[in-house]
Structure 1
């Protein structure tokens, strides 16, 4: 069997009941292709009235419409400053029902870019016909008032730097702790007060503001992955304002940070083994023997680069943490598995560039060394506020051992994650509780049985917690299901959004 070689450019291919809707009048037009929104005009507290009564000025941006909203910096004290929220909208092509806000996940994903660059991937044609599809960057993200931390060179060191000490040793913990302390301090210095106000509860309050100034009495919302947690949080805060919410790739709000680490390490390891089983049936697989044999080889490969990192052509080093990132990235979609084979083969030959390219795609790093967005900074900032953390070495070592037992290949590299947020300059106030959202309209929760990032059991748990939640299951591989699975899922989602159709039972797509 001759080895396959593909150019590094191949890595780029991996990226790729009836409710009454009111207050959805046609927007007014100004000259030059500008439109004005018509807020609902609802009664709110006096200090919030200037925000809820603001009129969006939509201006053409290519084939779409773009606008900027303002929101309170601190929802608990609306008079103490404001932030900006960037929005992009594709107007409904047919008879409009209302607005549909879309969040791609993360936290830190740009809903603006998601809609502006890949609306057909995000939302099907039937929804584009009946809704104004609105992408937005949550607070702290992208074009909205962003979390900012370090320049590209320092980000490279933070993400790809090699700590020479043994993982988990006192020396290793001390060095990682100091690196994370410096990173957090840089974020505080560059971002200011916003850093303490990018939590999911604050973002959910922003969602209600956007709903009102878009002119919708109820929120229609499609949230993927972390976006499901944002949507569920909104439902918990504003159950009477829920319209049709679809939460795809759901997160269980009750999970702790360690429980997330265990579930995801097991999920990605299961996806890795599914890839290996598929790979071993082909003629060009870089592995041989049984699935267990191949899994052992992956473990040895990770141990090898941990002991002796590989140097890339740009001078960066590929260590075990970066290689795990490179492995995880293609596991989000079974369609990317062939590229994962290319990456594994290149590392087996002692080459680092393809793996670094995969890690770069995951981290948002461009080929010229710049970073295309602030997703890494935003991801850290939001999670540090949404969960609680404990960096006691004994506790972290016990957690790391639990991870290694649960997922022997991936788990060892998911440990010690509390260090980063335990060093965060803003104290976490995250409270992981079940969300019932009593009184909310029906809420669709979608779970994929082979989802490595948001395991299926999380969707089951969320659907059970929500007073009006109902589960739609997709039996398959990959992260999230709408627009990525089959007609059963797509039709169920679109019928719910357009007609309010709630399945009599889980359609088990």
Structure 2
């Protein structure tokens, strides 16, 4: 029900159906990630207790051993394409490094030349919950800018609780189907209670199926893990590209270890200083901006299924969603119908990238036509949640909630607080505001209290850090990039005047040239650089 932050593993222009599964970038409805409190750089005595971890050696082997679903099918292909894999041991609890351990999954694609090797470049595609290992082996290892692949070993590390690194587990497939279909716009006390039970049941399942790890998957802990990985890779500094939530993880690392930052790109930036409520409200407005951009584009096509004028389009879409609340549509799966919640998820998912707009036009046309076929919208919702054809879900949503609920206090503590905020959310987005306000209850019943608080991140002593913002980004609004770049003592803002979520390696020669130059030379873009 909550929508997590991610970016594409596959080029969406070429493969809509596969790319949508990982195209989206920020948790619309879960609590805002924060940098784990007012952290400071780790002191040498603290690190001395971690010597067994910092001194470990990696046992690299060809990727291809059996991996947890749903990524196992990529394993053989990854082996054949020159990827190597390893595990890194990290302490479950950094306050007790002699206790239990977590094993992180790491994948590497060596630099392929020509030119001098620059070191390891760690990549994080977002989430929280997106697998960096799958992003590397399924996309970046072959489709990242050629000049970057030539000079850097590309490295993907699944954060603790994510992907192949001791993933958080919550609901099984049938229970997830019910959870994703739950009404997100309750009309009365009974529907409100049902929604609250759904959130509580999800949290309780996470607690019972994940155990002690559930309280140790915060971004602050993941940032400390990154420093261990940096060390065991033999690098003096961390070179890093983070997208969406990955920008928050990168900022947390820079705050903890500013003098170990190398060349760092934060693309589709989050603002660590804002509250969970503000994050959700800003994102609601961001999706409204993206929806209006979609409508302007839609009006130029004969197959546009919505009125050209924005108010009329809002009324038409709202009426369609309200009708689904009463009567879900049939789909190609005889056991599942398209509910209002799933249709909303599918629509919002398509707003993450303009490459998905043609498919959204077709999906809305099919659902609103005489056939009333909800198959395409259900498929978009399933792809967003990473639901496989066999009904199995990846751990994405479980990790997304687990990380976000630790990183900052919940946006709302109960239904009364949501109702009081509804006017603000509906003003931000007349169609989507109500659903996005209610999904912000995700963390209200979480079994672990938040360990982080929103605050400014300055990272004094860090070298230039490039922050990238897209002006009509639905999931990480442009104002967040401006704010983060201003907070960081060494922040440099690169603006992309365009649509979609994140900007690097998405088709802009201007953006790609500026960021690739920075990664290869360390020279950031000139101040006030804007790409169109």
Normalising by the residue count of structure 2, what TM-score does the alignment of the two structures yield?
Answer: 0.86
Structure 2: runs of 5+ lacking an equivalent: 1-14, 23-43, 64-78
| Pair 1:430–1:482, CA change in 2 (3 A) | same
Counterpart residue number, 1:500: 522
Which residue, 337, 340, 352 being the options, matches 1:317? 337
2:300 pairs, out of 265, 271, 281, with 281
Worse-matched range after superposition: 42-51 or 102-111: 42-51
RMSD: 1.8
Establish whether residue 75 from structure 1 lines up as the match of residue 94 from structure 2. Answer: yes
- Among candidates 455, 477, 481, match of residue 433 of structure 1: 455
Q: Distance in 1 between matches of 2:482 and 2:247?
A: 13
Name stretches of at least 5 consecutive residues in structure 1 with no aligned partner: 1-8, 17-41
Whether the 8 Å CA contact 1:11–1:339 is kept in 2: the answer is no
* CA shift for structure 1 position 419: 2.7
Cα deviation for residue 275 of structure 1 reads: 1.0
Q: Contact 1:264–1:455 (CA<8 Å) still a contact in 2? A: yes
The answer to whether 1:117 aligns with 2:138 is yes
8 A Cα contact 1:160 1:316, kept in partner: no
Partner of 1:412: 434
Match of 2:398 among 377, 394, 408: 377
Partner of 2:359: 339
Q: Residue 235 in 1 paired to residue 257 in 2? A: no
Q: Does 1:478 align with 2:500?
A: yes
Which structure has the bigger radius of gyration?
1
- Residues 379, 261 of structure 1: alpha-carbon distance in 2 compared, 3 angstrom cutoff: same
1:169 corresponds in structure 2 to: 188
C-alpha distance in 2, partners of 1:241/1:290?
52
Contact 2:108 2:153 (C-alpha < 8 Å) held by counterparts: yes
Contact 1:474 1:489 in 2 (8 A): yes
2:231 is the counterpart of 1:209: no
Cα deviation for residue 169 of structure 1 reads 3.2
Between the aligned partners of 1:97 and 1:10, the Cα distance in structure 2 is 34
Count of residues in Structure 1 that have an aligned counterpart in Structure 2: 473
Kindly indicate whether residue 348 of structure 2 is the aligned counterpart of residue 328 of structure 1: yes
User: What's 1:3 paired with?
Assistant: none
Instruction: Tell me if the contact between 1:331 and 1:478 (Cα under 8 Å) persists in the aligned partners.
Output: yes
| Corresponding position: 1:48 with 2:67 | no
TM-score by length of 1: 0.89
Residues of 1 paired with 2:382 and 2:163: CA distance? 18
The more displaced of 92-101 and 316-325 is 316-325
Matched, 1:148 2:150: no
Aligned position for 2:125:
104
CA distance in 1, matches of 2:308, 2:167: 49
Where 2:335 maps in the other structure, the secondary structure is coil
Moved more, 291-300 or 362-371: 291-300
Residue by residue, what CA displacement relative to the aligned partner does 1:194-219 show, whole Å, maximum 9, x if unpaired?
00000100000001111000000100
In 2, distance between residues paired with 1:438 and 1:321? 44
Residue number among 407, 423, 431 corresponding to 1:386 in the alignment: 407
Cα distance in 1, alignment partners of residues 435 and 477 from structure 2: 19
Indicate the structure whose relative CO is greater, using CA pairs within 8 Å and at least 6 residues apart: 2
Using the TM superposition, give the Cα deviation of residue 66 of structure 1 relative to its aligned residue in structure 2, in angstroms. Answer: 0.6
Post-superposition CA distance 1:247-266 (Å, at most 9, x none): 00000001212111111111
| Residue 51 of structure 1: how far off its partner (Å) | 0.5
Please give the alpha-carbon distance, in whole angstroms, between the structure 1 residues aligned to 2:228 and 2:521.
Answer: 25
- Secondary structure of 2:346's partner? helix
Check whether the contact 1:161–1:317 (CA below 8 A) recurs between aligned residues: no
Deviation at 1:353, TM superposition (A): 1.3
Stretch moving more, 398-407 or 114-123? 114-123
Match of 2:470, SS state, is strand
Task: Look up the SS of the partner of 2:398 in the other structure.
Answer: helix
After TM superposition, give the deviation of residue 13 of structure 1 in Å. Answer: 6.4
Deviation of 1:429 (Å): 2.1
Please give the alpha-carbon distance, in whole angstroms, between the structure 1 residues aligned to 2:19 and 2:124.
Answer: 23
Question: In the alignment, does 2:467 pair up with 1:465?
Answer: no
Larger deviation, residues 448-457 vs 310-319 = 310-319
Residue 314 and residue 376 in structure 1: after superposition, are their counterparts in 2 closer, same or farther (change >3 A)? Answer: farther
Measured in 2, the distance between the counterparts of 1:250 and 1:148 equals 27
What is the CA deviation profile of residues 381-440 of structure 1, one whole-angstrom value per residue up to 9, with x for unaligned ones?
011111212323321111222101211011111012343211111111220001000111
